[in-house]
Structure 1
Amino acid sequence: MPTVHPNYIKASKIVLLQLVIALVNFFLYYNDMHARHKNYAPIAMIVVFGIVIYLLRIGINWVKYFFLVGFAFVNGKPANWAAMFTHGPLKIIWAITGMCISIWVLWLLFTIPNQQASNKKSPDYPGPGIV
């Protein structure tokens, strides 16, 4: 079994922390949500975060791009920023904490060296075609 880079393990633990923060945020502002979102939103959060955590834990490389697109989609909309500032300072603190955690996870995931690049720089790797 190939070894998983330690940054994947750290990132999966941090995403678990982010899930806890998202669920706390959800239940703090439960009354502000529309009735159609109240039933499936926490289940969807747990399922999506659980899949991402599992894929990070086993070291799947493309998850970092999925996480980057999700981060840009959620935090890139001006409507989300406007809605965040209408709920008071606690909502702002929770949102900024979640963004900082996401940036931390992205930094961990994108600082993992590429496998081929790390093999070519290794002194034990003689290069292609050399026996």
Structure 2
Amino acid sequence: MGVNKKFLEEKTNQELEEYIKPESKFVQEANQYAYEILKSRGRTFTDEETERFSNKENHEYNKIIHPNYKKSSEILYISVFLGIGNLIWKYDTLDSRLKIFISLIVLAFGFALAYYTSKGIEWFKYVLLVLFGFGLLSIPFIISDIKNDPVIGIINIIQTVLQVWALVLLFKIPKTVNSVNSNV
């Protein structure tokens, strides 16, 4: 979601001053636009302010994130939503507060994995690979799920395929793009 520069151009200089304060609560892209608008309106800036806003390559919104990071995160989100479907389908297994708590933690962890993948953090694909490796230990349970409850088994297989797909996309990202994103 980007910042609408035209919206900021309609603001008064006094309103834009709030954007360029060091403790500003606004996103960096909005701060940068406010700086540029105020500069075009003739406001003079201190050396410190100029340094803070002229170093654009350090701003997170200017960093290039390879599209495979976004695709992988979307696939991981789908996998988590399928996990929610699994829980709904087998709601009777959530018969204690501990099981409910663990299920919520696992789902939150899945959402966190997808979120951090979308940020383009290069080393995160190795975390996903290790976790996927541990997940392969559950193959016998998936096979028994297919026999006992085909819906759950099929959902688990789809989740596994989606996770493999996400990992393949992450490992297909060229190293030159990864070096740009490693410090995000």
* Partner residue in 2 for 1:51: 112
Match among 11, 23, 34 for residue 84 of structure 2: 23
Larger radius of gyration: 2
* Partner residue in 2 for 1:14: 75
Higher relative contact order (CA 8 A, sep 6+): 1
Q: CA RMSD in A?
A: 2.5
* Partner residue in 2 for 1:95: 156
Tell me if 1:108 matches 2:169: yes
1:109 positional shift:
0.6
* Partner residue in 2 for 1:35: 96
Give the Cα separation in 2 of the matches to 1:95 and 1:26. Answer: 12
Paired AA for residue 111 in structure 2: G
What number of residue pairs does the alignment pair up?
119
SS of equivalent to 2:173: coil
Give the Cα separation in 2 of the matches to 1:113 and 1:84. Answer: 38
1:32 positional shift:
2.9
Give the Cα separation in 1 of the matches to 2:178 and 2:103. Answer: 40
Q: Deviations over 1:54-98 (max 9, x none)?
A: 211110011111111111112224553354245321111111111
Which stretches of structure 1, 4 residues or longer, exceed 4 Å deviation after superposition?
A: none
Cα–Cα, structure 1 residues 116 and 38, in superposed 2: closer, same or farther, change >3 Å? closer
Give the Cα separation in 2 of the matches to 1:17 and 1:84. Answer: 20
SS of equivalent to 1:61: coil
1:47 positional shift:
1.9
Cα–Cα, structure 1 residues 4 and 78, in superposed 2: closer, same or farther, change >3 Å? closer
Give the Cα separation in 1 of the matches to 2:144 and 2:77. Answer: 25
Give me the TM-score of the superposition, normalised by structure 2: 0.56
Cα–Cα, structure 1 residues 116 and 6, in superposed 2: closer, same or farther, change >3 Å? closer
Paired AA for residue 88 in structure 1: D
Give the Cα separation in 1 of the matches to 2:159 and 2:177. Answer: 33
Give me the TM-score of the superposition, normalised by structure 1: 0.77
Where structure 2 has 5 or more consecutive residues not aligned to the other structure, the ranges are 1-61, 180-184
Where structure 1 has 5 or more consecutive residues not aligned to the other structure, the ranges are 119-131
Q: Deviations over 1:103-125 (max 9, x none)?
A: 1101101101112899xxxxxxx
| Identity percentage of aligned residues | 27
